[in-house]
Amino acid sequence: MYSKENFKKTVNHQQPDRLVVDFGGTAVTGIHVLAVENLRNYYGLEKRPVRVIEPYQMLGEIDEDLKQIIGVDVEGVFGKENMFGFNNDGPFKEFKTCWNQTVLVPENFNTRIDAKGDLLMYPAGDMEVPPSAIMPQNGYFFDAIIRQKPIVEEQLQVEDNLEEFGLVSEADLVYWKNASVELRQQGRAVIASLGGTGLGDIALVPGMNLKNPKGIRDITEWYMSTVMRSDYVKTIFDKQIDIAIENYKRYYEVIGDAIDAVFICGTDFGTQDSTFCAPEQYDDLWLPYYKRINDWIHQNTNWKTFKHSCGAVESFMPRFIKAGFDIINPVQISAKGMEPKHLKNEYGKYITFWGGGVDTQKTLSYKSPKDVKEEVLHLCDIFAKDGGFVFNTVHNIQANVPVENIVAMIDGIHEFNG
């Protein structure tokens, strides 16, 4: 209950008793499976294969013993199926990675090695159809394989880009209810990644879970379509949100207050130096749909809503707030305009920063443990005042981050929390 109550204070912009920490609650606040194993070895925990909980990015499960050491306050509920469209909950099998780590993966984690030595992944685990993702032989996670068919303008059908969205089944509702209620018993806050509202999320556009994706499935083509075919995209979003709201009604009937927050969207709007689109285009193409889903959630539930966007999105902060988002992640403090004190002073009363606790691009990966700890303490001093801050790194912790640096980050969190 202590974690859950501190979380509630935090997201309601009240000073919690201590800093709230998340690692593993979502697919954008996790730790790579190799880094998880390195942490377990460092702390002398039981040696066993780490389970891959998100195979696209090869994120590892953080078991209770490691959660206790880190001081994790948030549990994450994920769907039965993963990004590749097969059951993610087991049964499991052992798999030897190209970096020689033995991990646990779902039974339909079916792969082949191509002529170049790269690892191929298949939609729904079906090796009779073309692969949908590839991991380079010296890589640590998968990239989507673009399977875009030639586009004939007059034959474009909105339904083709809605194939992966549909009404939640009764079996899935039972799963979500059981999973949410079970995690609620841990005493931590719970965030659920219910899906269906990632409007134009480039991780989802290629349809890696689909055996024969139709519609606009090339990422470059999609970005061009937001300008060239904006009416087509708006129709997709309109139907997608209709489906999502109906699903959210069904989810809430079975989940109720067993969760505290919901992951709404992983659509990125920023690069290192700028935004992907003009603010006016965001207002026209995304804002109305985000507002519809946020309004429904706030009018009908007690859930907080979580928006992910990497990059230099300071100019979009007022727009994220206007859309009704309660939480922004990952707070990429190294991007242009994303200065921590400015963000906290300007927007800290209106939106919770979930992330931004240490820079993963330079500090965590390449600087000394002393530098890491000092940055953690400095950023916590800025972001944690008056609540509105959940500690996480700037996006997932990657494979080859020195374990001593991750430990220094954890030590910094503990020192800040007294």
Could you tell me the residue ranges of all domains in the chain? 2-31+62-86+149-416
Count CB atoms within 10 A of the CB of residue 44.
7
Half-sphere exposure of 411 (CA within 13 A, CB side): 14
> In degrees, to the nearest 5, what angle opens at C-alpha 95 toward C-alphas 91 and 100?
155
Count CB atoms within 10 A of the CB of residue 120.
18
What average pLDDT does this structure show over 326-347?
98
Half-sphere exposure of 161 (CA within 13 A, CB side): 32
Please give the pLDDT value at position 2.
72
What average pLDDT does this structure show over 351-358?
98
Options 3.40.250.10, 3.20.20.210, 3.30.70.20, 3.10.105.10; CATH of 2-31+62-86+149-416: 3.20.20.210
176/172 Cα distance (integer angstroms) = 6
What average pLDDT does this structure show over 179-190?
95
> What percent of the chain is modeled with pLDDT above 70?
100
- Contacts of residue 301, defined as CB under 8 A and 6 or more positions apart, other chains included, come to 252, 257
Say what angle helices 230-255 and 287-300 make with each other, to 10 degrees: 10
The number of residues in the chain equals 418
Count CB atoms within 10 A of the CB of residue 418.
7
**Strand ranges of the sheet holding 102-106, from the earlier edge strand across to the other edge:** 59-60, 50-54, 102-106, 92-96
Please give the pLDDT value at position 173.
97
| Residue 91: cis peptide before it, omega within 30 degrees of 0 | yes
pLDDT tens for 239-268 read 999 999 999 999 999 999 999 999 999 999
Confidence of residue 188 (pLDDT cuts 50, 70, 90): very high
Whether 148 has a pLDDT exceeding 80, the answer reads yes
Whether 16 has a pLDDT exceeding 70, the answer reads yes
| Residue 130: cis peptide before it, omega within 30 degrees of 0 | no
- Contacts of residue 234, defined as CB under 8 A and 6 or more positions apart, other chains included, come to 285
Element (H, E) at 308: strand 304-308
pLDDT tens for 201-232 read 999 999 999 999 999 999 999 999 999 999 99
Confidence of residue 410 (pLDDT cuts 50, 70, 90): very high
82/122 Cα distance (integer angstroms) = 12
CA-to-CA separations, 207 to 85, 218, 242, 294, in angstroms, rounded: 9, 10, 20, 25
Q: Are 394 and 331 in contact (CB under 8 A)?
A: yes
What average pLDDT does this structure show over 330-352?
98
Please give the pLDDT value at position 7.
98
What average pLDDT does this structure show over 32-59?
98
Please give the pLDDT value at position 349.
97
What average pLDDT does this structure show over 315-338?
98
332/315 Cα distance (integer angstroms) = 13
Distance of CA 108 to the CA centre of its chain: 22
- The DSSP 8-state label assigned to residue 98 in this structure reads T
341/378 Cα distance (integer angstroms) = 11
What average pLDDT does this structure show over 166-181?
97
